[in-house]
A and B are shown apart, each in its own frame.
Chain A
Amino acid sequence: MNAHPTLNNAPIAEALIDIRVKLPATLKVEIIDTIYDAIKDKYPDKQEQKISELKLDLRSEDTVNSSGAIVNGYRYISSDKKQIVQTRLDGFTLSRLHPYVKWDEMRDEAFRLWELYKDITSPDSIIRVAVRYINILNIQLPIKDFGDYLSAPPIVPDGLPQGISSFLNRIVISEPSIGASAIITQALEQIALDAAPIILDIDAFKLKPNGMEEKDAWEAIDQLRHFKNRIFFNSITDRLKEEYK
């Protein structure tokens, strides 16, 4: 049941479906790249994804040596640059940038790509699944009170100047009924001349360090989407919802 209103102008800047896995230790990162043949029509632009590696050498005086960057996966970008697939040694992520498409469309594409990733990598287990939505609430200035727009606005103690030029607020909540958690981040970095681009980042996830079945993982992804919606609609005021309708 969808109890939330449909927003024709939803402020979604990016939506992600993320699956973290444990891959066989012997799997080489180059193997992951064989997925490219199957997706290059839709995702022609390929990039290596690198992480910096530090080596500890306790025998020498210089105890920490940077040994440069190593490839831990790949990014494949669609022709219109609106969709990005990451295939890494620790998992798989599909990002959809603005403009957002329907959930079903995004989920189906994530499932299609996951099947390819799974066939190539044969994961030992799925450890974590997440649905993350990054919203940019561009609120026109002047803002008399952040509480007019945010259900949980930043609070400055009484007796202090109430003007805020930047804030970062992060909370982690649990939803025991589905065994999930969510990281909710509200941030404002700088205020432009005419608007305040407030980030409302909702990362709903389910973690099972001992692994979960694939079917359960996809069921969890659907549940996480509903959890994410509840968080979003409870994070903004009716006034802001009206603006996005």
Chain B
Amino acid sequence: MSTAIPSTECNSISSFPSIGFGTDLLGLKKYYDRVVSDLKKAETLGQVDTVLQELHEVYLECSEEGWDGYDAQSISEAAYVEVRKFIEYLPLISSIPVPEIIPEPGGEIGLEWSRGTRQVFIASFAGNNEIIYAGLFGTNKTHGTEYFGDSIPSKIMDNLKILSF
């Protein structure tokens, strides 16, 4: 008899622990990724695909220094990979709005979720396993830094849930 228990971390089913190098493990990861990819082919479960496409376009557009017409640093591949992972780890079923991709002059990539001007949450990724975030929810403000490994930190998810429909 199995029962349901809540979890505070967002352990997305898209997340397959990537520690390990054996050929069997890599084969299993490939298979797992394909299963999840098949699942996401539906409109309902694949909402993040459009965001991933936009992310790829932003990465290509901003991969050289001075992309903003001034002296912006190029978006690093590490930041791109990290944001990609974060987006893929977002829950398949969710009422959280899709984020907007914002390249930052320091070479980081920002994700912005908003519902009007007073409900905004921004997370910034530099490719160093850290998420720097700031949020404005009406008159309340929040900010901080969270470690980002194989799941979306619960603090980030708690903030995103405030923006749920």
On A, residues with C-beta under 8 Å from B are: 13-14, 16, 47, 50, 52, 66, 68-69, 84, 95, 97, 132, 134, 136, 139, 141-147, 153-156, 162-168, 170, 183, 185, 187-191, 193, 196-197, 199, 201, 203
Contacts and interface: CB of A to CB of B under 8 A. Distances in A.
Given A136-B93, A199-B92, A145 B1 contact: yes
A132 B5 contact: no
Given A52-B56, A97-B44, A197-B93, A189 B2 contact: no
| Most A C-beta atoms less than 10 A away, residue of B6, B43, B91 | B43
B57 A69 contact: yes
A187 B39 contact: yes
Contacts of B36: 168
Interface string B78-103: 00000000000001110000000000
Given A13-B44, A14-B43, A166-B11, A141 B92 contact: no
A163 B12 contact: no
A189 to B, nearest CB: 5
B145 to A, nearest CB: 23
Given A143-B4, A189-B92, A14 B56 contact: no
Contacts of A47: 50
Given A69-B53, A134-B45, A170-B35, A189 B13 contact: yes
Contact of B56 (A68, A141, A142): A68
A147 B1 CA distance: 7
A14 B40 CA distance: 12
Contacts of A199: 39, 45, 92-93
A178 B93 CA distance: 33
A132 B1 CA distance: 29
Interface residues of B, number: 27
B93 A16 contact: no
A76 B57 CA distance: 21
B128 interface: no
A110 B146 CA distance: 47
A63 B60 CA distance: 18
Chain A binding surface, main DSSP class: strand
Interface string B121-150: 000000000000000000000000000000
Contact of A146 (B3, B50, B57): B3
B19 interface: no
Given A136-B93, A166-B11, A142 B42 contact: no
Given A69-B56, A165-B11, A187-B13, A132 B2 contact: no
What are the 4 closest A-B residue pairs judged by CB atoms, nearest first? A163-B5, A165-B7, A143-B4, A14-B44
5 contacts: A16-B42, A144-B1, A165-B11, A166-B7, A189-B10
Given A144-B3, A165-B7, A165-B11, 7 more contacts: A16-B42, A95-B43, A97-B43, A134-B44, A165-B6, A168-B36, A199-B45
Interface in B28-79: 35-36, 38-39, 42-45, 50, 53, 56-57, 60
B39 A185 contact: yes
